[in-house]
Amino acid sequence: MTTSTTPPFEKQSLLREFRTSIAKDLDAICASRKSDEDKAKEVNALINSGLVSFKNQLLSLNILERGTAALTLQYCYTVIALESRHKVWPYEYMAFSRRIGEMWEDFCSVAWEFSLNENMQRIHPPSFSDIKGVIKERLVDVLGGLDKTLEGESLQAQALSDVDMLCDLVGDINMREDQVFQVFDVPHVVDFKSGFGSNEKGNTLRLEAVGRAYRAWNKDTKLWLLVRQEVNNNYLDTLRKGGLWEVYTGLEAYKKIDQVTDIPVSKMKSSLIDWENDLNSEFYAFLKKQRKDLTEYLIW
């Protein structure tokens, strides 16, 4: 009996196994008379089911191997998911750029799922009502002994009412972020962004509002904006110059992930990612020949 020398979750063997496991069902979906959108939903469900199946196998690995194996699996899943969806519903620019953003975030998030940093713990993000409560508590501490009144109402009550009114004007800010965790009791917030284009004004304003809200909740909160692209526009520069968010792009973004999770994403991605050779050759050629070269989104 011979023992396999192939390391667990080796990329090429995993790609072959993944493609083989879905081939029959994928052919059936392609041959159906359903709409492109319905076929795409079925393809996504098929690929996701395969991902879950392979993920279950990770548990048999040594805990020190799981992180790097999970990154390999997530990349292979991305390759298979992109080319399989394209078979039933060819990508156009907006759909591809949006999907790449989602998949890049999922790839990076694997490091938190399999983190080796014992001092890092995920935490639930506060709600906006939690933050409003913290602000009001501070105000009570400052004005606690103040018994002056104006038009029959204490100044403290008026100040608290003004806080409510101001929060109503701002609206309910969604505090959910891509990663919220603490290291040695210091809250950290991570927002992933594939890139900043010409239509990012709304997202920039939201990030500024969310960042200020987190700092109101806990003044020591670290805010990290991790961006896939190295080259971005003035909206990202605005956030960087504002000093509220720490902005990291390209390789520096991966190094921050390494730092906080103890998973070597920066090293792994350089040896793992090879879209031109790993993707179906026809699909890669399709991406290259579009009016805007879509392989630019594959610069990870």
Overall domain count for the chain:
3
Percent of the residues in the chain that have a pLDDT greater than 70, as a whole number: 87
Domain match, 221 and 288 both:
no
Least trusted range by pLDDT, from 49-53, 86-90, 135-139, 253-257: 135-139
Mean of per-residue pLDDT scores for the chain = 89
Domain match, 73 and 22 both:
yes
pTM score of the predicted model: 0.88
What's the CA gap between 35 and 117, in Å, rounded?
46
CA-nearest of 133, 135, 158, 154 to 145 is 154
Distances in Å between the alpha carbon of 269 and those of 10, 78, 114, 149, 206? 14, 13, 16, 63, 30
DSSP code, position 89:
S
State whether residue 5 is helix, strand or coil: coil
92 close to 139: Cβ distance less than 8 angstroms: no
Domain match, 19 and 95 both:
yes
Which of 140, 170, 200 is where one domain is finished?
170
Query: How do strand 179-183 and strand 120-122 relate by DSSP bridges?
Result: antiparallel
CA-nearest of 231, 228, 300 to 270 is 300
Domain match, 103 and 140 both:
no
Least trusted range by pLDDT, from 40-49, 86-95, 145-154, 160-169: 145-154
Side chain identity at residue 29, one-letter code: I
> 209-221 pLDDT, tens per residue?
999 999 999 999 9
The pair of three-digit structure tokens given for residue 225, joined into one six-digit string:
């904006």
Domain match, 110 and 78 both:
yes
Q: Which domain holds residue 45?
A: 1-114+264-300
Domain match, 46 and 95 both:
yes
Distances in Å between the alpha carbon of 69 and those of 75, 115, 119? 10, 12, 22
Domain match, 6 and 52 both:
yes
Domain match, 70 and 155 both:
no
Q: How large is the angle between the packed helices 36-58 and 11-31, nearest 10 degrees?
A: 150
Domain match, 15 and 108 both:
yes
Least trusted range by pLDDT, from 158-172, 241-255, 274-288: 158-172
Domain match, 103 and 25 both:
yes
What's the CA gap between 6 and 217, in Å, rounded?
49
What pLDDT was estimated at residue 135?
80
Domain match, 182 and 244 both:
yes
